Structure 1
C-alpha cells in the first residue's frame, strides 16, 4: 500500500473509531445508492457536461485493485456500472474530464512503453504501485480512443494523484515531490505549445499541512481540495481557496454546511452545473445499542450496504459559497 493510501486508511480508521454519537448523519445526496455507491470503495466522480454519464473509481478497501467504471443515467436513475472500455487490466484510478468532455484523464500503473514493466514508486525506502498520468480522447464515433501517456515532468516520481483540468488545459494534481515537505501538496502543470511546463507548487500555506485531490474551476477562479488546515472535523475535510486580484491564492476556507463531517471527506470534483460538487466520504449510518438482534442474513445485508464505513460518492451544492465570494455562473 502506498504512503498516500496508508494516510487515507488511517483517516478511515480514526473516523470508524469515533464515538457513535459524534458520527455525522448522512447529508447531501448519496449518488446512486446500491448502484454507484455500494459497500465497496467508490471515489473520484467525473460527470459529462450533459450530466448523463458518470465515470468513477471502484476498489477494494485496501485500494490495491482500482478500476474505472462508467454508468449512464436512464429514466432519471443511474444504470448498472460497467468497466470503462479503457480500464480493467491495470491499476487505473481517479478519472477526470476536461471541461468540454472531449478528454478523460486518469492515473495508472500501466507500462509507459508497450511490453514494459508496470510503474512503481518509492518513498522512505518503501516501494509501492506508482502512477503516471494518461488520457483518452473522444473519437468521432463517440468512443474513447487508445490511452495516451502524458509526457513531461509532472510524472516524475510516479506519484501523481487526482488530476483536474482547467479550460485552457492546465492540469492540477496532488503529489509528493522534492519541494513538498513531509506531506502531499497541490501542483499545476501549465499547458504550453510544447507540452506541459515543469509543475509549480500551489502556495496555500505552511508545508506541514497535507493537501490533496484538487478540483479546479474551469476558469481557475477557485480551487477545492482535501486536507487539514488545522480546523478539520475529521482526518481530512474539504477546503476552498479563491484566486485574488494579484493572481495569488487566498487563505483556504473550510467549506461550511454539510459537506464536511467527522468522517473522511476527499476526492472532490465539480459537476456540470454551477455549484455542483461531488465528494467521496466514508460517513456511515449511526448504530445505536442495543440494536435489533441480527440474524446472519440481516447482518450480512446491513454490512454490505453503502453506509457501512466504505467510501461512497456524494453530491452537494456550494453555489451560495461561490456567490458570496463574487463567483457567478
Structure 2
C-alpha cells in the first residue's frame, strides 16, 4: 500500500508528455459512481457477488479506507465502508479465488492511523454470504513493523511486504505458509526480488508463474522458472509513466492488469488497465456506462 518517496517526487514530472510517448496498450478505467477527485486504488472484485472493493484516500494518499460498490444495473453504486470495517487505516483488500475469504491490512488493533501498526487480517464468509469477524494473522506472519498487500499464490504461499528486521533492504517482499493449523513459516523472497531499496507489494498471477512487484520506481515483473523467481525487471513505459503505479490486480485469466496511478491535480489517483495480450471483457462493465477513459467522473 505504501507509496515511496521517489514516486511522490516523480509527480513533478509532466505526466502528459510521458503518456503521449507510451504505447496504447494502457487505458484509464474511471467508472461513474466509483471515480472521484480523491485517490482510488487497490481494486478487488468479489468472485461471488461481483462487487468492487477498493481503497479511497485523500489526494495526499492518507486516511486509507476500504470501500465497496455494487452494480445496480445502471452504474456502480455510491461506495460505502466495507461490511467488516473498523476504526483506523485499512487497505489492500484481496479475495481468495473461491470468494470464501478476504485478506487486508488494518490498524484496527489500535485504531490509529500510524502505519507502524498495520497488520494482516482475514475475514471468512458465513454460509449466508455475510462476513465473520476478521481475525489477525499470528506472528511470525505479522510483526512489530508494518505489513503490506497480502496476496496468496496458487501453491499456498502468502506473499506480502514488510519492513521487519532481517530483510535485504528497507521494505522487502516476504512469503508465509501455514504448515499446520495456526503454525506458519515465513521467509524472505530473496535477492531476485528484493534490493537495498524498497519493495512493497507482491502480486502472484492466477497461474503462479508471474509475480508483479511494486517497488521504488513503479511496477516490476518476475517469472517462476520452476525452482525460483527470476530477477525482477521493470515493466515498460506504457505502464510505468511516473513511478507512482501501485495496487495492481490481475483479471481471472491473468491477461489484464488493473492498477492505480497518481495523475496529479485535479484527479489525483485513478485506475488504469494494461492488456498486453489484447482486449478482454474486463474489468466488468456495469449497465451502459463506458468503463474506459471516455467515461466522465460523476
Partner residue of 1:199 out of 175, 186, 191: 186
Aligned to 2:282: none
Gaps of 5+ in 1: 112-116, 122-127, 229-235, 285-302, 321-329
- Indicate how the Cα distance of structure 1 residues 264 and 51 shifts in structure 2: closer, same or farther if over 3 A, else same: farther
Aligned to 2:4: 8
Per-residue deviation at 1:51? 7.7
Larger Rg, first or second structure (1 or 2): 1
Q: Distance in 2 between matches of 1:76 and 1:249?
A: 43
Per-residue deviation at 1:52? 2.2
Contact preservation (8 Å) 2:45, 2:95 = yes
Contact preservation (8 Å) 1:119, 1:131 = no
3-state DSSP of counterpart to 1:17 = coil
Contact preservation (8 Å) 2:51, 2:70 = yes
Q: How many residues align?
A: 274
Aligned to 1:188: 175
Contact preservation (8 Å) 2:88, 2:112 = no
Matched, 1:272 2:252: yes
- TM-score, normalization: structure 2? 0.81
Aligned to 1:327: none
Q: Distance in 1 between matches of 2:129 and 2:84?
A: 14
Aligned to 1:174: 161
More helix by share: 1
Q: Distance in 1 between matches of 2:194 and 2:149?
A: 21
Aligned to 2:263: 283
The one-character-per-residue Cα deviations of 1:266-308 (angstroms, maximum 9, x if unpaired) are: 2212222331211111135xxxxxxxxxxxxxxxxxx55xxx3
Q: Distance in 1 between matches of 2:117 and 2:194?
A: 26
Q: Distance in 1 between matches of 2:258 and 2:89?
A: 22
Q: Distance in 1 between matches of 2:4 and 2:15?
A: 20
- TM-score, normalization: structure 1? 0.74
Gaps of 5+ in 2: 279-298
Matched, 1:55 2:47: no
Matched, 1:261 2:259: no
Aligned to 2:274: 316
Aligned to 1:137: 124
Matched, 1:152 2:139: yes
- Indicate how the Cα distance of structure 1 residues 139 and 319 shifts in structure 2: closer, same or farther if over 3 A, else same: farther
Per-residue deviation at 1:120? 8.2
- Indicate how the Cα distance of structure 1 residues 20 and 72 shifts in structure 2: closer, same or farther if over 3 A, else same: closer
Q: Distance in 2 between matches of 1:211 and 1:55?
A: 24
Aligned to 2:232: 252
Q: Distance in 2 between matches of 1:271 and 1:239?
A: 17
Partner residue of 1:241 out of 222, 225, 234: 222
Per-residue deviation at 1:132? 1.0
